[in-house]
Structure 1
Amino acid sequence: MIAKLKQFIQSHAQESSPEEKALHLNLAAATLLLEVVYADEKLADAEAAILPEMLINTLGITTEQAKSLADEAKQARHDAISLFEFTAEVNAQFSIEDKQTLLLSMWRLAYADGELSQYEDQIIRRTADLLYLKHSELIQMRNIAIQQTS
């Protein structure tokens, strides 16, 4: 059963065009950013305001694409079972620097409303672990985000 599932996933992954792969990657990254935004069960105005900027800076997309991607990511987040389905996509295609940029964006979103909830912190730490980032990288990105928001 598991072997058949792996085979199905691999066959679909190989059939994807570069555009589809980029779309899936952007959707995965955007969904991870949304996890931080909704971690504390409230959408602060400051977080909503900088989310498009984080998508644009992290993924190199346009403003219109960021708005559309945010809407798609909300649905993907709602349908998701775990963070792994998104971090696996990111791990497959992002470099270490890209992962660090994503993590920095997550920290900036978490601090956007002036306070870090324990749930935001937990999501970011869990994501960093799933992205195979070192604890020192996690702390470095957090410190940069704190400096940028103060």
Structure 2
Amino acid sequence: MIAKLKRFLQSHIQAISPEEKARQLKLAAASMLLEVVFADENLAAEERALLPKLLTETLSMSAQDANDLIDEAKKAQGNATSLFEFTNTINAEFSLEQKQQLLLAMWQLAYADGQLSQYEDQIIRRTADLLYLKHSELIQMRNQAIKAS
């Protein structure tokens, strides 16, 4: 029974095209960034301007693709039940450096409006845990974001 279930799951995982897999990964990363943006229930103009820029830099995409991804991520985020849905996808594909870059982008968004809310901090810390990043990496990325702002 378990072997049948395993074959079924593997056949469905293999059926996903590389393009679809890449799209899902970008969608998961964008959704994590949106979690930070909406954590304090206040979308500041600085955050609104920085989000597409971070997506183009972090995920190597055009500005138009970044804006389309943001729209799609807003819908996906609304349907999500937990951060695990996004971090699970990211853990499966991102390298340690890519995870750190995502965390750095999250910190940059959190500090974009000049103030860090407790909710933004909480989301980022939870995300770091779910991405299996060390506390020292979390602090290092935060310090880099502070220096850049």
TM-score (norm 1): 0.94
Matching residue of 1:28: 28
1:62-101, aligned counterparts within 5 Å?
62-101=62-101
Residue deviations 1:56-103, cap 9 Å, x none? 111111111100000000000000000001000000000000000000
Could you tell me which residue of structure 2 aligns to residue 147 of structure 1? 147
| Distance in 2 of aligned mates of 1:28 and 1:3 | 29
- In the other structure, the counterpart of 1:44 is 44
Determine the C-alpha separation between the residues in 2 that align with 1:29 and 1:3.
32
Which 4+ residue blocks in structure 1 deviate beyond 6 angstroms?
A: 2-7
Q: How many angstroms apart in 1 are the aligned matches of 2:139 and 2:130? A: 16
**How many equivalent residue pairs?**
149
Distance in structure 1 (CA, Å) of the matches to 2:25 and 2:76: 12
Residues 66 and 4 (structure 1), Cα distance of their counterparts in 2 relative to 1, 3 Å cut: farther
Amino acid in the other structure paired with 1:142:
R
Q: How far 1:14 moved relative to its partner?
A: 1.5
Root-mean-square deviation (CA, aligned residues, Å) is: 1.8
Aligned-pair identity (%) = 68
Q: Which runs of 5+ in 1 are unaligned?
A: none
* 2:139 aligned partner, one-letter code: I
Give the alignment of 1:127-138 within 5 angstroms: 127-138=127-138
Rounded to whole Å, the distance in 2 between the matches of 1:123 and 1:141 is 14
Give how far 1:42 is off. Answer: 1.2
Unpaired runs of at least 5, structure 2:
none
Alpha-carbon shift at residue 12 of structure 1 (Å): 2.6
**Alignment-mate amino acid for residue 97 of structure 1:** E
The structure-2 alpha-carbon separation of the partners of 1:41 and 1:20, relative to structure 1 and needing over 3 Å to count, comes to: same
Letter in structure 2 aligned against 1:99: K
Amino acid at match of 2:112: A
